[in-house]
Amino acid sequence: MDIQERLTAFAMLGATWIMWVLVALSIVGVAIALERAYFLFASRDDVAKLKADLLAKLRGNDVEGACARLRLSPSVEAQVVLAGLEAADDGADSASQRMDGQASLAKLGMERNLAFLGTVGNNAPFVGLLGTVIGIIRAFHALNESQGQVSAGLMAEVGEALVATAIGLLVALPAVAAYNFFQRVIKARITRADALGKDVLAFLQSKRRHADAAAE
């Protein structure tokens, strides 16, 4: 049996299994989207209030109080800034590196399993297209068997081909939308963490300048 015959035999199995694969991918994608949504919702905080409380503690030179306030927050922004404040005694450069490292880890944590959504969004239409190709091959086979006459079997195969494409698009679009939404949320949180981190660095640099001035 040559390659063409093998491919034809494979196509004759039908595209139903491809549709079930798409449905399974959709279910997994929805589960991941819900889990990520819950994670991001549970780790949110009022960053404006957090910043105000943090600056009030720092202006009062209460580093321990600032750390305690940050530990009360479940947010990624607080975790990043806390990493810097805990290294305050080592200087601004050390604090900056600690915050950069924590921000990278936080980003990885927030992006967990999002690659699956991106992959499904990019490739589900192609999986559906495979089902369409199989359906078209089966439609031509049905047309040949009916000797060129339009039959119910022919129309069923054409309909299956179109349904495969539609399912592929229906699976891809929500996955892409969810992936893009989560990426925007993650980018916003990392940006806010960076802004808070700059406030901490400004405090540490000011503290160092005052210490140097007092030493002179």
Q: Cβ distance 54 to 196 under 8 Å?
A: yes
The predicted pLDDT at position 150 comes to: 53
Nearest to 196 by CA among 66, 89, 108: 66
| 0.85 surpassed by pTM | no
Gap between the Cα atoms of 26 and 63, Å rounded? 48
- Of the chain, the percentage scoring pLDDT greater than 90 comes to 38
Task: Express each pLDDT in 69-106 by its tens digit.
Answer: 999 999 999 999 999 888 877 777 888 899 999 999 99
Which of 53-67, 145-159, 171-185, 199-213 has the highest average model confidence (pLDDT)? 171-185
Q: Which two tokens stand for residue 140?
A: 């031509």
The predicted pLDDT at position 7 comes to: 47
Q: Cβ distance 22 to 129 under 8 Å?
A: no
* 137 vs 55, higher pLDDT: 55
Provide mean pLDDT across the span 118-123: 92
* Cα separations in angstroms, 178 against 118, 121, 192: 9, 9, 21
* 143 vs 90, higher pLDDT: 90
Provide mean pLDDT across the span 63-69: 88
